[in-house]
Amino acid sequence: MLKTKFVRIVIVALISLFAFSAVAPAYAAAPAADAAASGKRIVVYLNQQRLYAYSGNTLVTSMAVHAIGTRRGNFSVQNRLSLVNSIVRGWRLPYWMGIYYVGRIQNGIHGPEYLINGGMAFNSLGCVVILTKANAAWLFNWAPVGTPVLIR
């Protein structure tokens, strides 16, 4: 009885942990040739909950994000999809840019989640969630596959 209850708790915890991550696409797009040449990079400061986009040494834009549980490190945009389904709860993640894997689950940068009931959410358990759809669309169109993503 106690063992069964423990197993249920572990399963619920794992589902909650990955509720906002996306299933990795079956393919990874080839890096854009101009990603490195353009000097574009994305820097996320977790203590500020803010994302900065640079072209060379020039700050192009910055935007508020929600990034709780996001891994620190140096990554790059691995794939881009205009809309991805979350693995749990049927949430839809707009302007998806995958940046790193946790096992077989990919975390990324995306816009606010569309809920089944038509609302929006800004939760994150590993992803960098851009707080406005307009900012998410801008970054999605600006950053090609291969763009470096530094999370500090």
Work out the widest C-alpha separation in the chain, in whole angstroms: 60
Q: Which domains does the chain have, with CATH numbers?
A: 2-22+37-151 (2.40.440.10)
3-state secondary structure of 97: strand
pLDDT, averaged per 10 consecutive residues of the chain (152 residues), comes to 44 37 43 65 97 97 94 97 80 92 92 64 78 96 98 98
CA angle, residues 13, 114, 48, in degrees to nearest 5: 70
Q: What is the pLDDT of residues 80-117, one digit of tens each?
A: 999 988 776 667 889 999 999 999 889 999 998 865 55
pLDDT at 30: 46
